[in-house]
Structure 1
């Protein structure tokens, strides 16, 4: 983890950089695709969603959630990614939905810089690294 400064433009520029964004998407997809079949099953996606712990914490403090409610939330998130409703997420579906989420984060952040704690291999960290590399060049 590291503390970084970013804004909405950092994210938008990363998403619009086809080479950087697509490479990051491919890397994450390949890491999630445990059985290497070119598709993400519900169980493969669930592991990723659970590591985010978005619903199990409130401002960093663990919160006990009803397991049935949590399951419904994860189910609906998987459906959001599975555009063709075939029970699996392919690379293009993963990329399209991740892009939408990243752009929604950019909109939410706006264009005033904020300081955030970022995971080492997160898409936001990659966006900051991309920006730092471009500025250094």
Structure 2
């Protein structure tokens, strides 16, 4: 399993051709208390950089972008019911959706942990 990051503060966990996507701990700390999450529908085809989900906090609403092209396989219903999971477990239980990667070459533009830490420093 590999974890990569976008400059928009999403994390992507890669297992074979399946990617699990969420927002980073840094992103949730900037957002503040998350009160609502809107996720894409399973079966939806996303293009890289397309707005895929919305996170609303007491401070702001932010889009979550698809870090890769592919089809949404599953969404995290638990997150819809309990959006505050983003604040308590951004890198774990608060994953947003899983997708089947349609173009693995798109992984090349993503950052590893060290590069992402440098990006947010």
* TM class by smaller structure: 0.3 to 0.5
Write 1 or 2 for the structure with the bigger share of helix. Answer: 1
Normalized against structure 2, the TM-score is what?
Answer: 0.34
Normalized against structure 1, the TM-score is what?
Answer: 0.31
* Higher relative contact order (Cα pairs below 8 Å, separated by 6+ residues): 1
Write 1 or 2 for the structure with the bigger share of strand. Answer: 2
Say which one has the larger Rg: 1
